[in-house]
Amino acid sequence: MFRPELVPFLILIALPTFAQAQGVGARCAKVGDDDKTKPIPAALVPQARQLFGFSKETPNAVIRNGTSYRCMGGKAWLCNVGANLVCGKANASQSLPGAAAFCKDNPGSDMIPMAATGHDTIYEWKCVGPTAQIVRPIVAVDPRGFIADNWKPLD
């Protein structure tokens, strides 16, 4: 049942949420680029749900706790962490201590697991004898150095 006397109250509740969502976009428009990732405000949970394809059964808290934003090119970009998804900057190093240690223990291995390289590396690795070697790049990075496929623009 519609209760007109509640309309002002409902507007007061919705305004801070709307302002939070607008604030992220306005902040990014102002700063341009900011590589520091920040937690999304509650107001962005519906957009994050849609961007990352979460079901309606996924609790809002799960989406909010796993999603961050940053500013690139004056726009807000969102990332949701996952088992192998990293929201921090990509590691483009061509020498990884974990890969080197793995190859010393497993010389000649045709692959080095991400447990040794880290999930943020942009390369596939193998062992040539006891030496870690890059096989090929496996992910692209965006202009700010983050794994491009992990970030989606907030429209």
Please state, in angstroms and as integers, the Cα–Cα distance from residue 136 to each residue in 110, 124, 145, following that order.
13, 6, 17
Q: 108 and 79: one domain?
A: no
Residues 66 and 21 in one domain: yes
60: domain range? Answer: 4-83+147-153
Regarding whether 40 and 15 lie in a shared domain, the answer is: yes
Each residue's pLDDT expressed in tens, for the chain with a length of 155 residues: 655 555 444 443 333 444 344 589 999 999 999 999 999 999 999 999 999 999 999 999 999 999 999 999 999 999 999 878 899 999 999 999 999 999 999 999 999 999 999 999 999 999 999 999 999 999 999 999 999 999 999 98
Q: Do 132 and 67 lie in a common domain? A: no
Same domain, 112 and 76: no
The pair of structure tokens assigned to 107 is 């010389």
| Residue 72 within any structural domain of the chain | yes
Do residues 15 and 73 both lie within one domain? yes
